[in-house]
Amino acid sequence: MAWTAPALFAVFLLLDGVVRISVQRRRTGDSGVRLPVGAPHWCARLASAAGGVLAGAAAPAADLLGMPLLPGADRPAWRAAGLALAALGVAATFAAQLAMGASWRTTVDPAERPALVTTGPFRLVRHPVYTALTLMTAGFALAVPNALAVVGLAAMLTGVELQVRRIEEPCLKRIHGAAWQRYAARTGRFLPGLGRLR
């Protein structure tokens, strides 16, 4: 398991950091790469990135070096299920990013006005990319259940919550106004039906 998790994380990095950017550049002439703006934005992005690296790379490396697993967590079925969840999360992240089409960016840019995407997986939840990233990280934490993986999952959850609530949703509301409000009122934030805005 300890070797499979970082290999899967490497696939995620390849899809997220190389393939998706190449697809965007081919589709639009723009890479889609944007830098965070302001301290809260940087904190959110760094927390998410740290969470992914801790759960997907550092935890498996620590496991190989002999870091003990959490008491009662070394169950082969759970670990196999964790790898399956992580693989599903990697695939779902990439699919959700592709579903954004020309609106995809590595993060929001307050100066831009990309189209509001409400089709595909965005019909079910407002932030399927973040749902998938959280699923991936939770899968890694199950596959290699040590303290680093738990810290990684906590960092990912913190980063996602900050990114969505403090950065993306206020930006989407400002850009899309009533259309965003209607979409957010009928569509759950991370899970279908949960976190709809009134």
Q: Does some domain include residue 45?
A: yes
Whether pTM > 0.85 for this model: the answer is yes
pLDDT category of residue 1 using cuts at 50, 70 and 90:
low
For residues 143-163, average pLDDT:
97
> What's the pLDDT band for 191 if we cut at 50, 70, 90?
very high
Mean per-residue pLDDT, 35-41: 93
DSSP for 35-78, written as a single string: ---SHHHHHHHHHHHHHHHIIIIIHHHHHHTTPPPPTT---HHH
SS3 (DSSP) at 106: coil
Write out pLDDT tens, residues 130-151.
999 999 999 999 999 999 999 9
Mean pLDDT, range 42-56, rounded to an integer: 96
In a domain, 75, yes or no: yes
86 occurs within a structural domain: yes
Q: Is residue 195 part of a domain?
A: no
The predicted pLDDT at position 2 comes to: 65
Quickly list DSSP for 142-188. HHS-SHHHHHHHHHHHHHHHHIIIIIIHHHHHHHHHHHHHHHHHHSB
Domain extent, residue 115, equals: 4-28+40-186
- Residue that is written with structure tokens 């740290």 in the block: 50
Identify the burial level of 26 via C-beta atoms within 10 angstroms of its C-beta, where 0-12 means exposed, 13-18 middle and 19 or more buried: exposed
Structural domain includes residue 34: no
Collapsed DSSP state (helix, strand, coil) of residue 125: strand
Report how many domains make up the chain. 1
CA dihedral in degrees (14, 100, 126, 35; nearest 10)?
A: 60
Per-residue tokens: 148: 């680093």
Crossing angle for the helix pair 128-143 and 76-99, to the nearest 10 degrees:
160
Residue 192 lies inside a defined structural domain of this protein: no
Averaged confidence pLDDT in the chain: 94
**197 lies in a domain?**
no
Check whether 61 has a pLDDT greater than 90. yes
Q: Could you tell me what percent of the chain has a pLDDT over 70? A: 99
